[in-house]
Amino acid sequence: MRNASVGPQRPFARLRSAQGHRSAAAVTFQRNSISIARSIRAGSVARPTLSGERLVSITAVGLVAIALILSNLGSDAPAGAIGPTGNTAGAGSEPRIALGGAVSGLENAPQGGIDDRYAAGDPGPTSDSVTDGGSLLAPGGATIDGPFTSDGTLVKPVSVDTTVTDGKALMRTYRVRSGDTLTGIANKFDVSMMTVWWANHLKAKDDLHIGQTLTIPPVSGVVVTVTAADTLETLAMKFGVEPADIIDTNQLADPNLVVGQTLTIPGARSKAISTPKPKATTKPAPSRTTSGGGGTTRPPAQYSGGKFAWPVAGGYISQYFHYGHYAIDIAADSGTRVMAAAGGTVTFAGWKNNGGGYQVWIAHGSGLYTTYNHMSSVAVGRGQHVSRGQQVGRVGMTGRASGPHLHFEVWRGPIWDGGTRVNPLIYL
């Protein structure tokens, strides 16, 4: 029994150390084979008798021989390996992405392995190897559209900064407060009143309301939005300015304009304030008018006397009485209240195409009359009796006027019907 147990231990020991005892096993197998062959040829052994120990030994030798043959088939494998090998690591992920042509995520390379160039620090496929079309079937059946490089890398383009510098950042804003006027707001920001008018697309001066937000350009001029037909040269020619002034005012880094840019054209002018359409009027009767109540009234027979009241609160004389200008101009913010210089009867209130725009005429008695011209609005009606200091309208620049002011006239005799204009300062 000891021999029977020892016999199998030897071949199994050979198996455990088969790699180190290939040569010894081969020699033993060869000697046994020669010995059996000689015995058969000599006739001394009719048929080998296979005892238990010899059967185990032959079986072990056979296994070793098979192992040697298999080992020889994988002779090119690395030391310690038996034939071709392979392995995986983890669940894997989607194709790697190249940002602007730079390969990232080498561990996620497509099937076929990773080119040694990438591992050595090469940036990977260039734009010459990018294909515009193609798609990739991702796990789960989803399709990933290209472009891909020649090795299957999905290329993701880098975002481009499309910010265009223009004059919008230079614009200021102002919230309208109680008592504000266009002229006053313009003075606060050192720009012309018309610049504020144009920049905010106002239609009338009474468009202002408390809480309204106004856009204030950096300098006096016109704000434009660039269209497809505009260039720096065409805008400069259209508004009569130098291209360099447009660039400097808007702090442009590139003279090539882009559709949608906001630009301030310095010193440019746009449309003037539209003049209201004249209304049909009748020639005023200096001695008899129709009152607002439907009856008739006459102007005072005599002037009650005393100095005239200053017709514009806070206004100042911007032009005095002189040859060719038979009145005084009193400048004030548009919308400022205009008041009757003395008590009397309104002989005309409305629009006239004589250059005075919206105007009011008042008869004070003793052949003395006053007129209030270029107003933005009228607050009284023909035939109405007014008292000294009563509001008759608001300062404006309707008719022929270069800015908001009141053109104030004093007449001795019927207005434009034989009367004469005298210096108003005689009565003020």
- Per-residue confidence in pLDDT tens, the chain, 428 aa: 444 444 445 544 554 554 444 455 455 555 655 555 565 555 544 455 556 667 777 887 888 778 777 665 544 444 444 445 455 554 444 444 444 444 444 444 444 433 444 444 444 444 444 454 555 555 555 566 666 666 666 665 555 555 666 788 899 999 998 888 888 899 999 999 889 989 998 887 667 888 999 999 999 999 999 998 999 999 999 999 999 999 999 998 888 888 889 999 999 988 877 665 555 555 444 444 433 333 345 666 677 667 899 999 888 999 999 999 999 999 999 999 999 999 999 999 999 988 899 999 999 988 899 999 999 999 999 999 999 999 999 999 998 888 899 999 999 999 998 999 999 998 88
Instruction: Write down the pTM of the prediction.
Output: 0.35
pLDDT at 322: 93
pLDDT at 415: 92
* Number of CB atoms found within 10 A of residue 384's CB: 20
Is domain 167-266 annotated with CATH 3.10.350.10?
yes
- List the one residue out of 36, 26, 151 whose CA is nearest residue 98: 151
- The bridge status of strand 154-156 relative to strand 172-175 is unpaired
Q: If DSSP codes are grouped into helix, strand and coil, which group holds residue 410?
A: strand
Write phi, then psi, for 193 (nearest 5 degrees). -65, -35
Q: What's the CA gap between 114 and 127, in Å, rounded?
A: 18
- List the one residue out of 386, 416, 391 whose CA is nearest residue 406: 391
Question: Contact 186/192 with Cβ under 8 angstroms?
Answer: yes
pLDDT at 113: 39
pLDDT at 294: 38
Helix 52-73 × helix 2-16 angle, to 10°: 0
Q: Do domains 167-266 and 289-426 have the same CATH topology?
A: no
CA separation, residue 411 to residues 7, 368, 381 (Å):
151, 6, 20
Range list of β-strands (E), 68-140: 97-99, 102-103, 135-137
Question: Contact 195/186 with Cβ under 8 angstroms?
Answer: yes
pLDDT at 122: 46
Type and span of the H or E element at 13 = helix 2-16
Looking at this protein, which amino acid is placed at residue 124?
G
- Give the up-direction half-sphere exposure of residue 246: CA atoms within 13 A in the CB hemisphere: 29
Angle at 382 between CA 377 and CA 385, to 5 degrees: 100
pLDDT at 184: 87
pLDDT at 32: 57
Tokens coding 109: 């390379």
Q: What's the CA gap between 357 and 210, in Å, rounded?
A: 27
22: which residues sit within 8 A by CB, 6+ positions away? Answer: 68, 71
Looking at this protein, which amino acid is placed at residue 401?
A
pLDDT at 384: 92
Long-range pairs, 378-383, Cβ under 8 A, ≥24: 378/349, 378/350, 380/346, 380/349, 381/292, 381/346, 381/349, 382/284, 382/289, 382/290, 382/292, 382/346, 382/347, 382/348, 382/349, 382/350, 383/289, 383/290, 383/291, 383/292, 383/296, 383/297, 383/345, 383/346
Sheet arrangement for strand 97-99: 102-103, 97-99, 154-156
Could you state, in order of their start, the residue ranges of all structural domains in the chain? 2-73, 100-156, 167-266, 289-426
The third-level CATH classification (topology) of the domain covering 289-426 is Glucose Permease (Domain IIA) (2.70.70)
10 Å CB burial of residue 162 (0-12, 13-18, 19+) is: exposed
Looking at this protein, which amino acid is placed at residue 337?
R
Bridge partners, residue 296, by sequence = 290
Bridge partners, residue 33, by sequence = none
pLDDT at 134: 57
